[in-house]
Amino acid sequence: MAHSLTPAASSPAEGLGRHGNGPPGSGLLHRMAKRLFDIGFAALALLVAGPLILICAAIVKLTSAGPAFYRAKRAGFGGKPFTMVKLRTMRVGKDTADRRVTADHDDRITAFGRLLRKFRIDELPQFWNVLRGDMSIVGPRPEDWDIVERYFTPEDRRVFAVRPGIVSPADVNWYPDLTYHDPPPPGVPIQEWYLQRHLPVQVAEGLRYVDRQSFLLDFRVIARTVFCVLVRSWLPPERRPLPGASRGMISP
């Protein structure tokens, strides 16, 4: 799947027509069972992690100016927008349209924000999005609304056949993130590099999940996520090349 910086002509909702009923084999019973699992898991997670979220929110307020929580517009189920909630890890006002993607050593991230990101604590408030029905525990990564509106092709939009997830196969297959495995060359903006090299890989992982989704796959992704947070946070994996990366889609 080749992406370019040429904006897509169609809207996020387009391209769902023939795929909008979901992947083969994902029947009503499966969807209902998955939703019940999401609700139970998210409710328990918020009950257990609630004190940690509140403590971290207070530290965010004390250590940097601005709100404790960050609200981001993301594309969700059916290609519809929703507001995703996270603990704020960046300085206020730095999330401009041309800098929606963060780099490894992004100067916009606060000191405490780096700690939150390292252990994925900033994502804990997203369990509220799961309860609301915006997200699932496991699913494709939720993408920025503006990026989807401008760059997703009709085939890419097939990922909206399911809810985006707090954790995804892309998270565990390319832990800690794609930038770690494939950093941009000097002089190439991280967002430009992301759009041309990382976005195709991320979308491909999401489409693969849509086609192969099952409870077994979800449990494997959850288990691998726990392993990554507890182990890989301290012992980063070996860097590996992205599929097709040797072709070089951007010249430095």
Residue 11 lies in a domain: no
- Alpha helices for the chain (secondary structure H): 28-63, 111-118, 126-132, 145-151, 169-173, 178-181, 190-193, 199-212, 215-227
Residue 249 lies in a domain: no
Contact residues for 204 (Cβ-Cβ < 8 A; gap 6+): 1, 243
Residue 113 lies in a domain: yes
Residue 18 lies in a domain: no
The parent domain of residue 83 ranges over 28-234
Residue 221 lies in a domain: yes
> Residues 141-184: pLDDT tens digits?
999 999 999 999 999 999 999 999 999 999 999 999 999 999 99
> Residues 53-102: pLDDT tens digits?
999 999 999 999 999 999 999 999 999 999 999 999 999 987 777 788 88
Number of domains, the chain: 1
What pLDDT is attached to residue 182? 94
pTM exceeds 0.95, yes or no: no
Residue 91 lies in a domain: yes
> Residues 208-232: pLDDT tens digits?
999 999 999 999 999 999 999 999 9
